[in-house]
Amino acid sequence: MNFTVTEEQEELIELVRAVLAQRSDDRAMRAALESDAGYDTELWRLLCTEIGAASLAIPEEAGGAGFSTFETHLVLEELGRGLTPSPYLGSVAITAQAILATHDDEAAARLLPGLAEGTSIGALGWAAPDGRWDPERVAVTATPGEPWRVTGRVPLVLEGATADVLVVIAKTPDGARLFELLEPDAVRRDVTPAMDPGLRVATLHLEDVAARPLGDGAPDVLPLVLDHALTAVSALQSGTAARALASTLAYVGQRVQFGRPIGSFQAVKHRLADLHVRVETAATTTRAAARAVADGSAERTSLARLAKAWCSETLDQVAAEMIQLHGGIAITWEHDAHLVFKRAHALGQLFGTAAEQRARAADWALQPA
């Protein structure tokens, strides 16, 4: 499997990184977190209209650029590196791909152009009542009719408070499947404070809301949606871990103890070397999963699960070491260490913990060579 970055993809990385460096530095990032929207709406417009970041993995016939989710993955890595709050994860990387996974051409032609332009925001209601991915336990039930009606409650919906394109997993007599909510304004939405202030989540309360089934309910749709979600989250984790390591490396070269920079101490060097290996392997693992998902590889599910597990553990460790090696300054509100720490814990739980992913991937990983 070849998941090396092409020259064109490298240009995309450099362009997004340059824009975020200019428009999402520490001060701008914190101002965006404290804004009513929770993100910089002008930066979002710039990413969508000038760079076309939201359209990358959407087919041309649905208003997109016709590339792949691998390019979307590279954008997510940069958003993670910048700690940039954005609807990209929930709207573009998850909801748009969920719609595409159903192969519902009518819905794609109607819903995806707005998501590709960034003028619409999408949200996917996926969680069971305990916040876990388990489509057979979701608390939303769909009743057949013209149109169908859905009733229930969905927690932890990324961008759920403001999205105008709402898709939910609902139980039907034939099993769980995806539905588009036809009356978004009829949905009661309760904002849920998240540990990571860069994630905007809400609980959706559905009371006999009109809905339209997406696709034909094929059994492979929901597993594919999960593969996309796990891989997208791992990209954010990988980018955030790279940022945290870079910040820590810079600090240990400046902080002086006993007349020497602490980065010159052998014990610190060993800890940083371990972190470097973890961050590099996290980047490799998540890009391998991204390529497998983009290409429809038979290994995509196992690689997506392993990427989420490894990137979760990597970001946890890098966040912990960042706090330890920065010392007292790391526990102040003004330093970014607490944002990295909160992101590590929040993303580590989203769509399942590292332990859960390893358990799901065990059958594949333990197969004889």
Q: Tell me: the pLDDT tens digits for 194-226?
A: 999 999 999 999 999 999 999 999 999 999 999
Length of the chain, please?
369
Helix (H) or strand (E) holding 171: strand 165-172
pLDDT tens profile 281-290: 999 999 999 9
Q: 363 pLDDT band (50/70/90 cuts)? A: low
363 class by beta-carbon count within 10 Å (0-12 exposed, 13-18 middle, 19+ buried): exposed
What are the counts of helices (DSSP H) followed by strands (DSSP E) for the chain? 11, 9
* Structure confidence at residue 256 (pLDDT): 76
The conformation of residue 60, written as its DSSP 8-state character, comes to G
| C-alpha torsion sign, points 154, 157, 163, 166 | negative
Tokens of residue 191, six digits: 């904002």
C-alpha 318: how far from its chain's center? Answer: 19
- Give CA separation, 361 vs 247, 290, 365, in Å: 33, 16, 6
* Structure confidence at residue 101 (pLDDT): 98
* Structure confidence at residue 69 (pLDDT): 96
**Are 293 and 225 within 8 A, CB to CB?**
no
Q: What is the mean pLDDT of residues 35-55?
A: 95
* Structure confidence at residue 267 (pLDDT): 86
Tokens of residue 126, six digits: 């996926």
Measured CA to CA, the distance from residue 232 to residue 151 in angstroms comes to 29
Q: Taking the model in full, what pTM does it have? A: 0.95
Whether the per-residue pLDDT at 368 is higher than 70: the answer is no
The conformation of residue 289, written as its DSSP 8-state character, comes to H
Q: 351 pLDDT band (50/70/90 cuts)? A: very high
* Structure confidence at residue 365 (pLDDT): 63
Q: What is the mean pLDDT of residues 14-37?
A: 94
pLDDT tens profile 222-252: 999 999 999 999 999 999 999 999 999 998 8
Measured CA to CA, the distance from residue 254 to residue 326 in angstroms comes to 11
Q: What is the mean pLDDT of residues 316-339?
A: 90
Helix (H) or strand (E) holding 257: strand 256-257
Helix (H) or strand (E) holding 45: helix 41-45
pLDDT > 90 in the chain, percent: 85
Measured CA to CA, the distance from residue 212 to residue 284 in angstroms comes to 39
* Structure confidence at residue 99 (pLDDT): 98
Whether the per-residue pLDDT at 117 is higher than 80: the answer is yes
Q: What is the mean pLDDT of residues 102-122?
A: 97
Measured CA to CA, the distance from residue 29 to residue 52 in angstroms comes to 21
pLDDT > 70 in the chain, percent: 98
